[in-house]
Amino acid sequence: MKYRLADFGRIFSTRDRGAEMRRDALDRLSGAPVDSLTIDLDDVLSVSYSFVDEYIGELAQMSGGRTPSFANVSPLAARTISRSLSNRGLEVPPEVAAQVPGRARAGRGRQASARTEPA
């Protein structure tokens, strides 16, 4: 199921708004698994960390770590989504990780340091 955020606005902030959007997405899923949901961020100008963490982070946490898919994610939104999921110790979907500058791949938790140890 595709969930187009721009149908609800172009700028998303606050935990209250995130909780509202999470409830709406869950209602629309009608018991289907969270990973059957695709959140489309086309035409979305901005998403705050508070919004993303309450909507996407909490949705994934409530679903046992299962995350929705994402479409049309800007690098800035991808960084915010990645940070929320990583801070919760959850998997960052590959389509999000690919948009985060400097992040080579999706992974569990925080990104590993790029530093190398002396031989």
Q: What is the pLDDT of residues 68-111, one digit of tens each?
A: 999 999 999 999 999 999 999 999 999 999 999 876 544 444 33
The pLDDT confidence band at residue 118, using thresholds 50, 70 and 90, is very low
Residues facing residue 65 across a β-bridge: none
3-class SS at 59?
helix
3-class SS at 30?
coil
Residue 114 lies in a domain: no
Q: How many domains does the chain have?
A: 1
Residue 106 lies in a domain: no
Residues 6+ apart with CB under 8 A from 53: 15, 18, 84, 87, 88
Burial of 4 (0-12, 13-18, 19+ CB in 10 A): middle
pLDDT of 10 strictly over 90? yes
Residue 118 lies in a domain: no
Domain coverage including residue 32: 2-97
Residue 112 lies in a domain: no
Residue 54 lies in a domain: yes
Residue 67 lies in a domain: yes
Residue 83 lies in a domain: yes
Q: Could you tell me how many helices (H) and strands (E) the chain has, helices first?
A: 5, 5
Residue 32 lies in a domain: yes
